[in-house]
Homo-oligomer: A and B are copies of this chain.
Amino acid sequence: MDIETLKAQNPDHWNKAAAIRALSLDAVAAANSGHSGMPIGMADVATVLYEKHLKFDAAHPGWHDRDRFILSAGHGSMLLYSLLYLVGDPEITLDQVKNFRQWGAKTAGHPENFLAQAIETTTGPLGQGIANSVGFAMAEEALRARFGKKLVDHHTYVIAGDGCLMEGVSHEAIGIAGRQELSKLVVFWDNNNITIDGTVALSDRTDQVGRFTAAGWHVQEIDGHNPAEIDAAITAAKADKRPSMIACKTHIALGHAAQDTSKGHGALTNADQNAEAKAIWGWTTGPFEVPGDIKSAWEEIGRRGAADRAEWDVRLAEMSAARQAEFARTMAGEAPKKLSSTIKALKKQISESAPKVATRKSSEMVLEVLNPILPETFGGSADLTGSNNTKTGDLGVFDIDNRKGRYMYWGIREHGMASAMNGMALHGGIRPYGGTFMCFTDYARPAMRLSALMQVPTVYVMTHDSIGLGEDGPTHQPVEHLAISRATPNTLVFRPADTVETAEAWEIAFTQTKTPSVLSLTRQNLPTVRTEHKTKNLTAQGAYVLADAEGKRQAILMATGSEVEIAMAARDILHAEGIGTRVVSMPCWELFEEQDEAYRKRVLPGGPVRVGVEAGIRFGWDRWLFGERGKREKSGFVGMHGFGASAPAETLYEKFGITAEAVAQKARDLVEGRWQADPRT
């Protein structure tokens, strides 16, 4: 259909959609930056979705039972901002739209979840939105199973572009959704045949219909500018028991000189061409001006769900006070009061029994006592359940016929798992944790960065965290991954030395509301080093004195995780020689950085030589080796200087020189004034 026919057939629809188009065009032109074509192309789909289907109440963007709308093609952010302004969202005002992409505005270049409540997730890195949405839909299923349909009963709608569907993570996401029959997930594919480099055919010929069908999805193909087809397709999608993909044939930058071209993907800033486009759309008002009747019609749409929401409020109010409180606590992500006492009791028991176990096993021991008291936890693994020790006895398996199950077999999909976990956390009401090998942090990395950027408390259980995994070799042995995790802002990286520190790490991770955690856990057994029970969470200080020097303090050994045991043995060697040696355990650098200077100096005083010990690379360690007054020639590092190798773990520690004797030797050398100038050691 041409534009004139579309206008004539349904002028009310056309004008509402034109408002999105005009606002998007104006905002991008004013910013001289952004993406005009996608909002223009998908305005019809978005209009029908908001007008006829999306359950929401614009005045209450945080309503827990709203339908979620995920703009996976996040570069088209003006589509979302236009919609939110038009329906009367209290946070996205006209001023915000006018300040698109400017400092301090909520209307950032790509949607950022922490800037406004109605922005469900942060998109822009392609494929993340569609993968998040799988988590949103899973969270809805899980919470519906837990709290009932009266409180939880909503859909997740997604707009995804060609870029989202080319990214590998989309494959993982649609595989999960198909396997789990997430019937309330509906994805609109903006099938505009345009990428930045040119037509899609330049790089891809995938039959998306065939592909989604193969993944177990319900698939429809429609004209993405025809409101009747859009409406019918959404209705059919909601009725099908499978997740739905609606392939919407659209024209990027419809009606603009750049229509159907890759130029149309970017910022359309030519004033004459923009004026022409508006004329073609029948849009006659000035920049950022929406005629009163059209704005009113949109605001009516914004109020469409108000009654639904009010009824929902009533249903909630009719529940028992305990149930209401539990629902509120769950949705707020607050840890239950019992968490702290449970951890303390476990720590006491562990300090007394002093088991020698791998910290991945320690983690399981902690989860065994925490999962029963935190019904909001949701565990999983990317096909390494038995290795990651993430499944505890009472969880049950999340599946089509068991939505109360709280454990997920994610399959060999680290990226999809991480991204879906982010979606669950963003949805609210779920505290997700998931495992893989530490080395495969690499695969999950784009989503792990977004956990940090989006400020969601996803927990990553990363086991087999060093050459200590042994024979699997360098492809599976992380050496740089602690550095990578620590380099990421707003991320807590825990490398506990024993079960007590592991328990403390979990307590901290499960009380976060805006920060993800990475638990770096061993494959190999470690002794309990915290044999003296302390109720205080020492890991919360980031680093602390585990064992002080006997006699004059001449050396400080700083270590994390599995190397704390080695540092302790080195201390014995040095003490036998009369070299007073302190061992500092440093399970979480980020928390240590947050301590005040006085505490940091108490733990790491100037004077003694310092040796860092970690079965990873040195990168990042200099900050602690030098400290406030430290000097290079009084410090050293024992760790990895490159990739690992395939051999039994003990052999590797020996061959790579990460031993108590090597640590003692390094300290001895420094105390006695021998120092190597090689900056790589």
Which residues of A in the span 37-80 have a Cβ within 8 Å of any Cβ on B? 74
- The answer to whether B643 touches A632, judged by C-beta atoms less than 8 angstroms apart, is no
Chain B proximity of A92: nearest CB distance (Å): 14
The residue that A385 contacts in the complex, of B170, B197, B488, B630, with Cβ under 8 A, is B197
A34 within 8 A of B: yes
- The answer to whether B162 touches A33, judged by C-beta atoms less than 8 angstroms apart, is no
Known: A442-B449, A646-B108, A647-B101. A206 touches B196 (CB 8 A): no
- The answer to whether B630 touches A105, judged by C-beta atoms less than 8 angstroms apart, is no
Chain B residue contacts of A229, Cβ below 8 A: none
A308 within 8 A of B: no
Chain B residue contacts of A326, Cβ below 8 A: none
A627 within 8 A of B: yes
The residue that A196 contacts in the complex, of B34, B383, B473, B490, with Cβ under 8 A, is B383
- The answer to whether B124 touches A476, judged by C-beta atoms less than 8 angstroms apart, is yes
A147 within 8 A of B: no
Chain B proximity of A5: nearest CB distance (Å): 33
Interface 9-residue window, one of A172-180, A497-505, A506-514, A662-670: A172-180
Chain A, residues 616-637, CB within 8 Å of chain B (1/0): the string is: 0101101100111111110000
- The answer to whether B166 touches A413, judged by C-beta atoms less than 8 angstroms apart, is yes
Known: A600-B679, A620-B620, A645-B108. A125 touches B443 (CB 8 A): yes
The residue that A108 contacts in the complex, of B33, B175, B473, B488, with Cβ under 8 A, is B473
Chain B residue contacts of A460, Cβ below 8 A: none
- The answer to whether A110 touches B677, judged by C-beta atoms less than 8 angstroms apart, is no
- The answer to whether A103 touches B597, judged by C-beta atoms less than 8 angstroms apart, is no
Copies per complex of this chain: 2
Chain B proximity of A614: nearest CB distance (Å): 13
A209 to B211 Cα, complex, angstroms: 10
- The answer to whether A206 touches B195, judged by C-beta atoms less than 8 angstroms apart, is no
A104 to B473 Cα, complex, angstroms: 11
A509 to B643 Cα, complex, angstroms: 21
Which residues of A in the span 139-185 have a Cβ within 8 Å of any Cβ on B? 162-163, 166-172, 175-176, 178-179
A253 within 8 A of B: no
- The answer to whether A205 touches B211, judged by C-beta atoms less than 8 angstroms apart, is no
A654 to B617 Cα, complex, angstroms: 34
- The answer to whether B643 touches A677, judged by C-beta atoms less than 8 angstroms apart, is no
Known: A179-B204, A386-B196, A439-B125. A480 touches B490 (CB 8 A): no
The closest CB in chain B to the CB of A439 belongs to: B125
Which residues of A in the span 81-105 have a Cβ within 8 Å of any Cβ on B? 101-105
- The answer to whether A172 touches B166, judged by C-beta atoms less than 8 angstroms apart, is yes
Chain B residue contacts of A268, Cβ below 8 A: none
- The answer to whether B453 touches A446, judged by C-beta atoms less than 8 angstroms apart, is no
Q: Which 9 A-B pairs have the closest CB atoms?
A: A168-B168, A203-B411, A210-B214, A171-B171, A124-B475, A108-B646, A103-B647, A622-B622, A483-B487
8 additional contacts (CB under 8 A) given A207-B214, A445-B445, A487-B620: A102-B648, A103-B645, A103-B646, A112-B475, A171-B171, A195-B411, A210-B213, A486-B619
**Chain A interface residues (CB < 8 Å from chain B):** 31, 33-34, 74, 101-105, 108-110, 112, 122-126, 162-163, 166-172, 175-176, 178-179, 195-198, 202-211, 213-216, 381, 383-387, 409-413, 415-416, 439-440, 442-443, 445-446, 449-450, 452-453, 470-476, 479-480, 483-484, 486-490, 593, 597, 600, 617, 619-620, 622-623, 626-633, 641-643, 645-648, 651-652, 655, 677, 679-680
